[in-house]
Structure 1
Amino acid sequence: MEFCRWINNNHRVVSSILFTDEATFTRDDINITRNYHVWSDENPHATVESNFQHRFSVNVWCGMVDSYLIGPFILENRLTEDNYLNFLQNELQGLLEDVPVNIRMQMYYQHDGAPAHVARQVKQHLDERFPGRWIGRGGPINWPARSPYLTLLYFCLWGWMKNEVYKIKVDTRDALIRRIE
């Protein structure tokens, strides 16, 4: 409720918040077929082909501020404190190049309470880069726990993006990355 009150009292700030999130894309989407059974009178030996021996996934970061979509950016491996800090220090600024300077100068950085987001080094970096203007667990503006539905990415981007990516089946991680980009 605290965050919602802050937004209500500062309603103009919404267009200055860089809402961010990560999502995982996999080879098989969200379909879990390990318990998939075929009942067939015509072919009692029917099977369902799956590729569990060749699983892969891709972690993706995206952001939205005002009317600008930032990313997608492919995060190598699982999100950790070190690779998230590296992303913030070395990649984020380049991703924001197309956002007008006046928006960047007053921008708030939002992220949720994922373990990599609450690491001491990450918080220190955000305190330096966005002094008093970052939103997250333990930040100057606290992000409500378990509230992904408050971000634009959760209810606008990820569902649409996964729908587009999964329209065409892929056989390699590189092909999945090309679909995402």
Structure 2
Amino acid sequence: MNNGNGITINRLVRHFEENGSVRNVQIRGRPRTVPTEENVERVVNSVDENPGTSTRRCSTQLGLSRRSLQRILASIRMFPYKIQLVQELKPIDYQQRLDYAISFQQKAEQSPNFIHNLIMSDEAHFQLNGFVYKQNCRIWATENPRAVHQRQLHPLKCTVWYGISSERIIRPYFFADGHDDAVIVNGTMYRTMLENVLRPSGQNHPQLWFQQDGATAHTARETMAILWDIFGDRIISRRSVFSWPPRSPDLTAPGSLGLFKRKGVRK
């Protein structure tokens, strides 16, 4: 056997071990790209120019396979991050939020138990019909089953108030009309909640503070009168001595931790 035949046989054996056949297997799709320094630099420049582009589009623009692009991104420690939806702030809000943060820090330094005695509160809406995210729902079949999911035009929901501090939780209060249907909270309903839920919890506890946002139902004159009767000047709210900055749900425990959206809240 000459040297040429030996090379051919070795190549066939190696090809059979790798592919299970001596026939040439056609490689489909875009060929694998070597992550050379040139390709890495091209990827870095592309991401710097347009960091929001998808890997599919970026690979097409650069002429790289998507897998190679992902390997390059991982090698330079670049990862996809989702944007966060936050409350839009007005120009005047930034100074008010800074003033609030400074006042809060000073109060905490003056009274070490201030944070533990602070009750933060808010309302939230819960959808009762369930939610189907169709992007995650797939049905395997030989033919399209034309599956549909019916939902009401106006879904059922409930509105819940909750109070939380570092040491305790005030039981949830469900706002509803006479037919147990969810309603928009107005001043009268909010004051009923204060009398039935918050007053028994806060009465005769001179160390407790109460925080609420600036919703109209929260800061109406009659509402504030009840809060002053329960807590005195220990109130963080609009129209109080300790002013609450507007559009700041992220400064509260319920707003920042998403307490009201967690599972397990029961009536």
Q: TM-score range by the shorter chain?
A: 0.7 to 0.9
Question: Equivalent residue of 2:163, what SS?
Answer: strand
* Mapped pair 1:74 → 2:171: no
Whether contact under 8 Å (2:121, 2:254) holds in the other structure is yes
1:46 to 124, 146, 168: 146
Alignment match of 1:108 (pick from 205, 209, 212): 209
Give the corresponding residue for 1:83: 189
Whether 1:152 and 2:253 are equivalent positions in the alignment is yes
* Aligned residue in 2 for 1:134: 235
SS at match of 1:164: coil
Q: For the pair shown, which has the larger CA radius of gyration, 1 or 2?
A: 2
**8 Å CA contact 2:190, 2:217 repeated in 1:** yes
List per-residue Cα deviations over 1:90-131 (Å, max 9, x = no partner). 22234x28x9x6xx3211111001121121111122222221
TM-score by length of 1: 0.73
Structure with greater contact order relative to length (CA < 8 Å, sep ≥ 6): 1
Matched, 1:58 2:158: yes
Unmatched tracts of structure 1, length 5 or more: 166-178
Match of 1:124, SS state, is: helix
Q: What is the root-mean-square deviation of aligned Cα atoms in Å?
A: 3.1
Report runs of 4+ in structure 1 exceeding 3 Å deviation: 28-33, 40-45
Q: Which residue of 2 is the match for residue 5 of structure 1? A: 102
Higher strand share: 1
**What is the distance in 1 between the residues matched to 2:250 and 2:123?**
13
Contact in 1 for aligned 2:123/2:162 (Cα 8 Å)? yes
8 Å Cα contact 2:238/2:245 also seen in 1:
yes
Note the C-alpha offset of 1:42: 5.6
